[in-house]
Amino acid sequence: MELTDGQGVDTAIEALGADATFQLAIKITKPGGTVSNIGYFGDGEYVRIPRVEWGVGMADKTIATGLCPGGRLRMERLLRVLETKRVDPTLMTTHTFGFDEMERAFEVADQKLEDAVKVLIRF
């Protein structure tokens, strides 16, 4: 809010699937804005909406949701993002493994060992 002089953002993206970050997204989105939720909320019974910051339902804030499709379509979309250089995955990579180390790479990624964020396997 400080960065927008108290006005709020046009769009906030919630990608963690955490109740706290969802609430924060509602709070920082200005009236008429959009909260884009792509996070997976796997825990808990409810996702809370902060009533006052939501404008008690009168602030015209849109909450848009959607999950990435799975399988081949998902991989095609992800690869297209990489091919067009819209995202550089190396900026998020904390661990790099060779193809012959694939089993270890999956273990590190799955168990979040050694403070792993993103694991890259070089083919």
pLDDT along the chain (123 residues), means of 10: 94 87 95 89 87 92 78 82 87 93 94 89 91
- pLDDT score of 67: 65
- pLDDT score of 10: 96
Query: So where are the chain's domains?
Result: 9-65, 71-122
Read off φ and ψ for residue 79, nearest 5 degrees.
-65, -35
- pLDDT score of 91: 85
Name the pairing type of β-strands 29-37 and 118-122. unpaired
Which CATH code is given to the segment(s) 9-65? 3.40.50.720
Residue 33: Cβ within 10 Å count: 19
5: left (phi over 0), alpha (psi -120 to 50) or beta: left
Tracing tokens 């989105």 back to the chain, one arrives at 29
Q: Which amino acid is at 106?
A: F
Is the sign of the CA dihedral 70, 72, 73, 77 positive or negative?
positive
Q: Which amino acid is at 18?
A: A
- pLDDT score of 68: 61
